[in-house]
Chain A
Amino acid sequence: MSNETSRKIEKHHWSYREGTIVTGLILLLGFVIQTASGGIVLRIAGFPWNLIAGLIFLFLLVLAFYRWKNHPIMKWLGGVKAALPAILGFTFLVLLMGFVKQDVEPKSALVRTFGLTHLVKTWPFMLINLYLMILLGITTLKRITPFNYKNAGFFLNHFGLFLVLLSTALGSSDIQRVTMNCYENETEHNALDTSGKPVEMPVTIKLLNFNIDEFRPKVTIIDNKTGQIVLNKNKNPFELLDRNTLDIYGYHLEVEQFLESSGKVGDSYVSLNEPGSAPSAKVKVTKDGSEISGWVYSGSYVNQPETLKLNENHSLVMLPAEPRKFSSELNIQTPSGKNVTTTIEVNRPFHIDGWSIYQLSYNTEMGRWSNLSVLELVRDPWLPIVYLGIFLMMAGAAFLFITGKPKDGGTKHVA
């Protein structure tokens, strides 16, 4: 570049105006390509192309930075005057996502053309993401050359976010998520991908046992005519049957007998432990001197529930118990020769050979008698980089907490 043009740029400092124009153009370009391509759902190329693209991007970024380090535009790219409009542009897209329901069939042609129902997989989102990564990369490089420990917090926050954005964007197509329906004592090696297509898995899983722990059931009062729950403003319409006496809607309940797993024999209930048995309780209900006692039963996929008629208007109902915990005991075999027996539950997945196995669901109609356990298997090879970015950002947040706002605005330590 000649000295003259360089001086011209020096004279006319790039500022917010240019930042806004660049961000606006990127968004415009994104929406134009999106529209022209007929509202396609974008996918980044999978391994190894995403890795190669990432390495080339990093290489070009570092090269460009050192080649034009002192150029005014490079300085502008690493500063707030480019960053703020870019953040605003990104915020604009996320705001759209905040109002338009995502991952559903678009209702109008306009929404479809612009890809508003799957914004993260559209051109404008990808381009603004790329632009943010360029800015974050440059500002990080700017601050670490030469390195000053006072910039540590800045580095952690910006480079952490850079890593998170880069690895989630590049890694998105390498993520495999499938669900596997496992029946008790059967071996399964087929799964369904997110679109419902069958996939053969490298691991085989045998469900040894599926187990549900339940909370005590809740009771409520219903209107005999409508069958609806009597809503009581300012009072809880449900009570958990975990104690011997309780008050609900002006009725006083005494639990004379509670059976966790039971079935009907004659006119009363007895403890049973076979498929379809459910909780029941013998209760005495008093209100204004009148007293009624009898059984309530929550019912199951086999048995009818039983309600207790209290008077002309109201009946007492026991609701199906809610799960406290559900877990699956699994035997897992991998092609690498591993043979593991383990128990997984919600919040306690099992990790093996790059796969994470999650407890997802079960046959909810059958409840605790379900012989089906639905597992989710997830593979996300880029996760370590995402986590590295997250941990850097956490450390950065801790820095922010300890040091607070830099007294001089922080500009002192910019090289």
Chain B
Amino acid sequence: MEELNMWLDFPIYASVAILCWLAASGLFLSSGKKLMNQLAAGLSFAGTALLLVFMTILWLHIQRPPMRTLGETRLWYAIFMSGIGLGSYLRWKYKWLVSYSLGLAMVFLIINLQHPETYDKTLMPALQSPWFIPHVIVYIFAYAMLGASSLVALRNIFFAPSDKTIKGPIQMADNLAYLGFSFLTLGLLFGALWAKEAWGHYWTWDPKETWAFLTWMFYLIYIHYRFRHPSEHKRAMTILAVSFAILLVCWFGVNYLPSAQNSVHIYSE
């Protein structure tokens, strides 16, 4: 039986998803009508669902969880990010957040289009573990939540002139950051339990682990600061934005750090 490289079809799926999301963002931002908003929500859902279909077919074809490479994690991120954007719209009715989230998801799809995925079915024995899927999914979900919270933070920093004017969306930033942090904690601890089974020790200060821990510490700082200073929004938002920068180093930057050469932990290109 002839099997095709699934990623060859990716541009079609990605382009249609991007078109759906562009139309959805346009409708969200331009129209105030309820019907148009519902149509926009429908379109953004359609884009996400299409990528989920692609992911499912991919998973079935490569016979291993598609969570091994950077390209695969970027695709998961685009799915979660757009889903969280839509979810938070349905929950809090912030139209700008769903547009931002879709925008970020599109950026990740475009990166994948620019750097097409290498097609590799092999999975080294250490990654063949029941922990593999929960560890990566929980992490990417946390990344998406925290990405959304940092979008809110950046908007608050640049578009609100004072601490008092940003009371509304700040609660959403908090909610997203708390949810994201709880997933981040779970991802970290799942990783530790898995490492014990696979490598004999739960924590080895591998560069990826060090940066994952740093990411966790920065969000820890945010949560403690918010707890003690509930009304100093601007500084809190700055901490939130910086934390996301650390998160990005952990996700992508570690691959390029001199301290991480020869790490077994990095996503393959």
List the interface of chain A (C-beta within 8 A of B). 79-81, 83-84, 87-88, 90-91, 94-95, 97-103, 120, 168, 175, 177, 215, 218, 234-240, 242-245, 322-326, 345-349, 356, 358, 376, 378, 380, 383, 386-387, 390, 393-394, 396-398, 400-401, 404-405, 409-411
In the complex, 26 of the A-B residue pairs with CB atoms within 8 angstroms, ordered by the A residue number, are: A80-B225, A80-B227, A84-B224, A87-B217, A87-B224, A88-B221, A98-B214, A99-B257, A102-B259, A168-B203, A175-B201, A215-B122, A236-B119, A238-B118, A240-B122, A243-B2, A244-B1, A322-B124, A323-B124, A346-B126, A347-B128, A356-B200, A358-B200, A393-B189, A398-B186, A405-B175
Give B82-120 interface residues, CB cut-off 8 Å to A: 115-116, 118-120
Q: How far is the CA of A168 from the CA of B122 in the complex (A)?
A: 35
Q: Which residues in B have their C-beta under 8 angstroms from that of A235? A: 116
Would B214 and A94 count as touching, CB distance under 8 A? yes
Q: How far is the CA of A218 from the CA of B207 in the complex (A)?
A: 30
The answer to whether B230 has its CB under 8 Å from any CB of chain A is yes
Ranked 9 nearest A-B pairs via Cβ: A346-B125, A401-B182, A80-B228, A397-B185, A400-B182, A101-B259, A397-B182, A378-B200, A347-B129
Q: Which of B31-39, B48-56, B150-158, B191-199 contacts A (4 or more CB under 8 A)?
A: B191-199
The interface centre, meaning the residue of B178, B183, B225, B258 with most chain A CB atoms within 10 A of its CB, is: B178
Q: Which residues in A have their C-beta under 8 angstroms from that of B198? A: 346-347
Q: Which residues in B have their C-beta under 8 angstroms from that of A348? A: 197
Q: What 19 additional pairs, Cβ within 8 angstroms, besides A94-B213, A404-B174?
A: A87-B217, A91-B218, A91-B221, A98-B207, A98-B211, A102-B259, A177-B200, A215-B122, A237-B118, A345-B125, A347-B125, A347-B129, A397-B182, A397-B186, A398-B182, A400-B182, A400-B185, A401-B179, A405-B171
Would B174 and A394 count as touching, CB distance under 8 A? no
Would A99 and B259 count as touching, CB distance under 8 A? yes
Would A98 and B192 count as touching, CB distance under 8 A? no
Would A394 and B189 count as touching, CB distance under 8 A? yes
Q: Which residues in A have their C-beta under 8 angstroms from that of B220? A: 87
Would B121 and A242 count as touching, CB distance under 8 A? yes
Number of interface residues of B (CB under 8 A): 59
Q: A397-B182, A409-B230 are in contact. Are A94 and B217 (CB under 8 A)?
A: yes
Q: Which residues in A have their C-beta under 8 angstroms from that of B116? A: 234-235
Would A80 and B125 count as touching, CB distance under 8 A? no
The interface centre, meaning the residue of B196, B214, B221, B225 with most chain A CB atoms within 10 A of its CB, is: B196
The answer to whether B202 has its CB under 8 Å from any CB of chain A is yes
Would A409 and B227 count as touching, CB distance under 8 A? yes
B259's partner among A98, A215, A245 (CB-CB below 8 A) is: A98
Q: A177-B200, A386-B202 are in contact. Are A80 and B192 (CB under 8 A)?
A: no
The answer to whether B210 has its CB under 8 Å from any CB of chain A is yes
A223 shortest CB reach to chain B, Å: 19
The answer to whether B205 has its CB under 8 Å from any CB of chain A is yes
Would B224 and A101 count as touching, CB distance under 8 A? no
The interface centre, meaning the residue of A95, A324, A346 with most chain B CB atoms within 10 A of its CB, is: A346
The answer to whether B5 has its CB under 8 Å from any CB of chain A is yes
The answer to whether B181 has its CB under 8 Å from any CB of chain A is yes
Give B227-264 interface residues, CB cut-off 8 Å to A: 227-228, 230, 249, 257-259, 261
The answer to whether B3 has its CB under 8 Å from any CB of chain A is yes
Q: How far is the CA of A259 from the CA of B158 in the complex (A)?
A: 64
The answer to whether B226 has its CB under 8 Å from any CB of chain A is yes
Q: How far is the CA of A264 from the CA of B221 in the complex (A)?
A: 65
Would B121 and A410 count as touching, CB distance under 8 A? no
List the interface of chain B (C-beta within 8 A of A). 1-3, 5, 115-116, 118-126, 128-129, 171, 174-175, 178-179, 181-183, 185-186, 189, 192-193, 196-203, 205, 207, 210-211, 213-214, 217-218, 220-221, 224-228, 230, 249, 257-259, 261
Q: Which residues in A have their C-beta under 8 angstroms from that of B174? A: 404-405
Chain B, residue nearest A245 (CB): B2
B258 shortest CB reach to chain A, Å: 7
Chain B, residue nearest A323 (CB): B125
Q: Which residues in A have their C-beta under 8 angstroms from that of B185? A: 393-394, 396-397, 400
A403 shortest CB reach to chain B, Å: 9
Q: How far is the CA of A411 from the CA of B207 in the complex (A)?
A: 36
Q: How far is the CA of A218 from the CA of B122 in the complex (A)?
A: 10
Would A325 and B125 count as touching, CB distance under 8 A? yes
Would B258 and A80 count as touching, CB distance under 8 A? no
Chain B, residue nearest A101 (CB): B259
Q: A87-B220, A99-B259, A102-B205 are in contact. Are A81 and B228 (CB under 8 A)?
A: yes
Would B200 and A405 count as touching, CB distance under 8 A? no
Q: A94-B214, A97-B210, A356-B200 are in contact. Are A390 and B192 (CB under 8 A)?
A: yes
Would B128 and A390 count as touching, CB distance under 8 A? no
Would A100 and B175 count as touching, CB distance under 8 A? no
A201 shortest CB reach to chain B, Å: 15
Q: How far is the CA of A378 from the CA of B196 in the complex (A)?
A: 10
Q: How far is the CA of A409 from the CA of B171 in the complex (A)?
A: 12
Q: How far is the CA of A400 from the CA of B219 in the complex (A)?
A: 13
B159 shortest CB reach to chain A, Å: 22
A100's partner among B3, B123, B211, B259 (CB-CB below 8 A) is: B259
The interface centre, meaning the residue of A238, A322, A400 with most chain B CB atoms within 10 A of its CB, is: A400
Q: How far is the CA of A387 from the CA of B179 in the complex (A)?
A: 23
The interface centre, meaning the residue of B115, B185, B214 with most chain A CB atoms within 10 A of its CB, is: B185
Q: Which residues in B have their C-beta under 8 angstroms from that of A398? A: 182, 186
Chain A, residue nearest B179 (CB): A401
Would B217 and A90 count as touching, CB distance under 8 A? yes
Q: Which residues in A have their C-beta under 8 angstroms from that of B213? A: 94
Q: How far is the CA of A317 from the CA of B196 in the complex (A)?
A: 38
Q: Which residues in B have their C-beta under 8 angstroms from that of A401? A: 178-179, 182-183
Q: Which residues in A have their C-beta under 8 angstroms from that of B189? A: 390, 393-394, 397
Q: How far is the CA of A177 from the CA of B202 in the complex (A)?
A: 13
Would B200 and A400 count as touching, CB distance under 8 A? no
Q: A94-B217, A98-B214, A398-B182 are in contact. Are A349 and B200 (CB under 8 A)?
A: yes
Would B118 and A240 count as touching, CB distance under 8 A? no
Q: Which residues in B have their C-beta under 8 angstroms from that of A396? A: 185
Q: How far is the CA of A67 from the CA of B48 in the complex (A)?
A: 59
Would A236 and B120 count as touching, CB distance under 8 A? yes
